[in-house]
Structure 1
Amino acid sequence: MTRTYAENSAQMPLDLALLGVNELSQNLKKDYPDMEWVYRISFGGLLDVPDENGETRAQGPAAGKAIDFFNNPKEVERMNILKSIVEGEIPKKPGEAIISHEFAEKFGVKLGQKVTLFGSTMNGSMLFKTFTVCGTIRFGMTMLDRGAILIDISDAQLALDMEDGSTEILGYFKDEKYDKIRATEVVNTFNPRYSKKDDEFSPQMFRLEQQAGLEEYLAMADNMGGIMITFFIIAMSIVLWNTGLLGGLRRYTEYGVRLALGEEKSHIYKTMIYEAILIGIIGSIVGTILGLGMSYYLQEVGVDFSDLTKNINMMIPPVYRAAIFPQLFYIGFIPGLIAMTLGNALAGFAIYKRKTARLFKELEV
Structure 2
Amino acid sequence: MIQFLIKGILRDKSRSLLPIIVVSLGVFLTVFMSGWMKGVFGDMIDMNANYTMGHVKVMTRAYADNEAQIPNDLALLDVSELISRLEADYSNMEWVRRIQFGGLLDVPDANGETRAQGPAAGRAIDLLTPGSKEAERLNIPKSIVEGRLPEQQGEVLISNEFAERFAVNIGDDISVMGSTMYGSMVVPTFKVCGTINFGMAMLDRGAIIMDITDAEQAFDMIDAAGEVLGYFKSNIYDDELALAVRDSFNLKYSDESDEFAPVMVRLRDEPSLKQYLNMADNMSAMMVMIFVIAMSIVLWNTGLLGGLRRYTEYGVRLALGEEKGHIFRTIIYEAIIIGSIGSVVGSALGIATSYYLQENGIDFSSMMENVTMMMPTVYRAKVSPELFYIGFIPGLLAMTMGNALAGYAIYKRKTAQLFKELEV
TM (norm. structure 2) is 0.74
- Name the residue aligned to 1:255: 314
> Equivalent residue for 1:24?
82
The 8 Å contact of residues 288 and 394 in structure 2, kept in 1 or not, is answered as: no
Q: What do residues 88-107 of structure 1 show as CA deviations (whole Å, max 9, x unaligned)? A: 12211110011122322232
In the TM superposition, 1:60-71 aligns within 5 A as 60-71=118-129
| 1:296–1:324 Cα contact (<8 Å) kept | no
Match in the other structure for 1:320: 380
Q: In the alignment, which of 160, 165, 186 is matched to residue 224 of structure 2?
A: 165
Q: 1:127 aligns with which of 186, 192, 204?
A: 186
**Residues 98-109 of structure 1 aligned to structure 2 (within 5 Å):** 98-109=157-168
From the superposition, tell whether residues 73 and 234 of structure 1 become closer, same or farther in structure 2 (CA, over 3 Å): farther
Match of 2:365 in 1: 309
d(CA) in 1 for partners of 2:405, 2:362: 50
- Percent identity reads 61
Of 69, 72, 95, 2:154 maps to 95
- Cα distance, 1:242–1:231 mapped onto 2, change above 3 Å: same
Q: Judge conservation of contact 1:252–1:363 (CA < 8 Å) in 2.
A: no
- In the TM superposition, what is the alpha-carbon distance from 1:296 to its structure 2 partner? 8.7
Task: Name the aligned partner's letter for residue 125 of structure 2.
Answer: I
Q: CA deviation at 1:288?
A: 8.5
Amino acid at match of 1:27: R
Question: For residue 11 of structure 1, what is the aligned residue in structure 2?
Answer: 69
Task: Check 1:316–1:267 CA distance in 2 against 1; reply closer, same or farther (3 A cut).
Answer: closer
Partner of 1:357: 416
Q: Please name the residue that 2:407 is paired with.
A: 348
The structure-2 alpha-carbon separation of the partners of 1:186 and 1:237, relative to structure 1 and needing over 3 Å to count, comes to farther
Deviation of the 1:172 alpha carbon: 1.8
- 2:397 is aligned to 338
Structure 2: which amino acid aligns with 1:196? D
Residue 316 of structure 1 aligns to which amino acid in structure 2? P
AA in 1 matched with 2:137? R
1:117–1:343 CA distance, 2 compared to 1 (3 A): closer
1:158 shift after superposition: 1.8
Please identify, of 238-247 and 126-135, the stretch whose mean Cα deviation from structure 2 is larger.
238-247
Q: Which of the residues 132, 142, 147 maps onto 2:206?
A: 147
Specify which structure has the bigger relative contact order, considering alpha-carbon pairs within 8 angstroms and separated by 6 or more residues: 2
Kindly indicate whether the alpha-carbon contact (under 8 Å) linking 2:121 and 2:205 is maintained by their aligned counterparts in 1: no
Corresponding residue number in structure 2 for 1:193: 252
Mean Cα displacement is larger for which, 283-292 or 79-88? 283-292
After TM superposition, the structure 1 stretch with the greater mean CA deviation from structure 2, 161-170 or 138-147, is 138-147
- Quickly say closer, same or farther: Cα 1:321–1:259, change in 2 above 3 A: closer
CA distance in 2, matches of 1:86, 1:100: 9
TM-superposed deviation, 1:147: 2.1
1:138 aligned residue: 197
Question: What is the count of residue pairs matched by the alignment?
Answer: 361
1:322 Cα deviation from its structure 2 partner: 1.7
Equivalent position of 1:202 in the other structure: 261
CA apart distance, 1:200: 1.2
Distance 1:25 1:247, change over 3 A: farther
Q: Distance in 2 between matches of 1:165 and 1:292?
A: 49
Deviation at 1:3, TM superposition (A): 0.9
Deviations 1:261-312 (A, max 9, x none): 22233332333334434554x44773686479559957xx923337543787
Contact 1:351–1:359 (CA under 8 A) maintained in structure 2: no
SS at 2:175's partner residue?
A: strand
The equivalent of 1:36 in structure 2 is 94
Shift of 1:130: 1.1
The farther-off stretch of 45-54 and 259-268 is: 259-268
Read off the aligned partner of 1:303 and give its amino acid letter. Answer: E
Trace 1:203-282 onto structure 2 (pairs within 5 A).
Answer: 203-211=262-270, 213-219=272-278, 227-277=286-336, 279-280=338-339, 282=340
User: Could you say which residue in structure 1 is the equivalent of 2:35?
Assistant: none
After TM superposition, give the deviation of residue 226 of structure 1 in Å: 5.5
What is residue 180 of structure 1 aligned with on the other side?
239
1-structure distance, mates of 2:362, 2:388: 31
Aligned-residue RMSD, C-alpha: 3.2
Distance, in Å, in 1 between the alignment partners of 2:288 and 2:333 is: 28
Alignment deviations for residues 47-73 of structure 1 (CA, whole Å, 9 cap, x no partner): 222221222223332111011122355
- The farther-off stretch of 225-234 and 39-48 is 225-234
Q: Which segment drifts farther, 151-160 or 47-56?
A: 47-56
Q: Aligned partners of 1:164, 1:323: CA distance in 2, in Å? A: 42
Cα distance change, pair 302–35 in 1 and its aligned pair in 2 (3 A): farther
**Secondary structure in 1 aligned to 2:95?**
strand
1:82 pairs with 2:141 = yes
Taking structure 1 as reference, are residues 250 and 190 closer, same or farther at Cα in structure 2, changes over 3 Å only? farther
| SS of residue paired to 1:169 | strand
Q: Is the 8 A contact 2:77 2:224 kept in 1?
A: yes
Distance in 1, matches of 2:383 and 2:258, equals: 40
**Whole-Å Cα distance in 1 between the matches of residues 326 and 419 of structure 2?**
18
